[in-house]
Amino acid sequence: MRHRPQTRSKVLSADNGVDIVGDVHGCYDEFIELLKRLGYERAPDGTYRHPHGRKLLSLGDITSRGPYSIKMLQFFHQHVTTGLAEMVDSNHGWKVARWLDGRPVTLAHGDEKVEEEIRLYQQEYGPKKASLLREQSRRLLFSSPSHMIIKQNEKIVAVAVHAGIRDDYIGMDSPAVYTFCRYGDVAGTGPDGRPIRREWAKERKVTSPIIVWGHDPHPEPKRKNGTINIDQGCVFGGKLTAYRYPEDELVSVPAKRNYSGLTDTPLTRFKADD
Ligand SMILES: [Mn+2]
């Protein structure tokens, strides 16, 4: 049976608290360390659960560039299917999903590491287990909503999205909405071949609900006009950050190293603009 991409938004209750985690990019060790610091405990079935029933929410880009993409895919497959976690759509997630779906895509920017990991996994565990892993990962990635609307008492209190969102896009469903959520406000390609990213957060005219986003590595969590960026470039040797709702607290774990194999990274290129 074909599984169609699910690009709509989804609603999540904030009642027991939500822990939103930035771009992991295969940094499984730092991710588990972060969960422990947030108070999650490993259950006998291997799942991580919070004693107060808090929900874990990933901003996507859990794979690629870093060392343990498969462990991250397995983690979120298990935790999303058991209702313990959620994950939104993202640019790397979408690319890997289309590759797993057999579509003609070119794997680059660390996505080729996912292919290599799955090749080695198949060598070790055989084609049957590898095929199950591919199918579970494909479903996980294709079923991720474009953005997550977090509600408390029927009111939208926060929005979690990978690369960004406009306020008039919240709760909407169209190709323009899911492209914006996945890639941000991209204005073509620059002379260096990198996408020119418009600063959608800077243009924001309102300050609520809080919009929690990742995708664009900043050395420190960055608040602007009621938005907060929590991608601290863990895979580039930065930090892995979680934002806690409703506490409005940030918890970060430092990367053990720069896993990307690059010396010129978004963190080294970073220029603060205000
Ligand atoms: Mn991204």
pLDDT digits over 92-121, tens only? 999 999 999 999 999 999 999 999 999 999
Ligand 1 centroid to 52 CA: how many Å? 30
Ligand 1 centroid to 65 CA: how many Å? 11
Each domain of the chain, given as residue ranges in start order, spans 10-254
Q: CA gyration radius for the chain?
A: 18
**For residues 176-203, average pLDDT:** 88
pLDDT over 60 at 247, yes or no: yes
For residue 119, give the 3-state DSSP assignment. Answer: helix
Q: Which of 59, 70, 45 is nearest to 147 (CA)?
A: 59
What type of residue is 73?
L
Q: In terms of pLDDT, which residue wins out, 3 or 234?
A: 234
Average pLDDT, the chain: 94
> C-alpha angle 14/18/21, rounded to 5°?
145
Dihedrals phi, psi of 208, to nearest 5 degrees: -145, 150
Ligand 1 centroid to 90 CA: how many Å? 6
**CA–CA gap between residue 200 and residue 179 (Å, rounded):** 14
Ligand 1 centroid to 206 CA: how many Å? 24
Q: Is the peptide bond before 246 cis (omega within 30 degrees of 0)?
A: yes
Give the C-alpha distances (Å, rounded to integers) separating 45 from 11, 49, 104.
27, 10, 37
Whole-number pLDDT of residue 69? 98
Whole-number pLDDT of residue 6? 59
Ligand 1 centroid to 183 CA: how many Å? 7
pLDDT over 70 at 1, yes or no: no
Query: Tokens 């074909």 identify what position?
Result: 2
Give the C-alpha distances (Å, rounded to integers) separating 27 from 109, 154, 236, 257.
16, 35, 10, 10
State the pLDDT confidence band at 271, using cuts at 50, 70 and 90. confident
DSSP state of 202: T
Between 95-109, 165-179, 187-201, 246-260, the lowest mean confidence (pLDDT) is in 187-201
Q: How many residues does the chain have?
A: 274
Ligand 1 centroid to 162 CA: how many Å? 7
Ligand 1 centroid to 45 CA: how many Å? 31
> C-alpha angle 253/156/233, rounded to 5°?
25
**For residues 140-165, average pLDDT:** 97
Ligand 1 centroid to 161 CA: how many Å? 10
Ligand 1 centroid to 235 CA: how many Å? 12
pTM of the model: 0.95
Ligand 1 centroid to 83 CA: how many Å? 24
Ligand 1 centroid to 124 CA: how many Å? 30
**For residues 219-229, average pLDDT:** 97
Spell out the CATH class of 10-254: alpha beta
State the pLDDT confidence band at 7, using cuts at 50, 70 and 90. low
**CA–CA gap between residue 208 and residue 228 (Å, rounded):** 11
Whole-number pLDDT of residue 152? 96
Ligand 1 centroid to 60 CA: how many Å? 7
Whole-number pLDDT of residue 198? 83
Ligand 1 centroid to 163 CA: how many Å? 6
State the pLDDT confidence band at 272, using cuts at 50, 70 and 90. confident
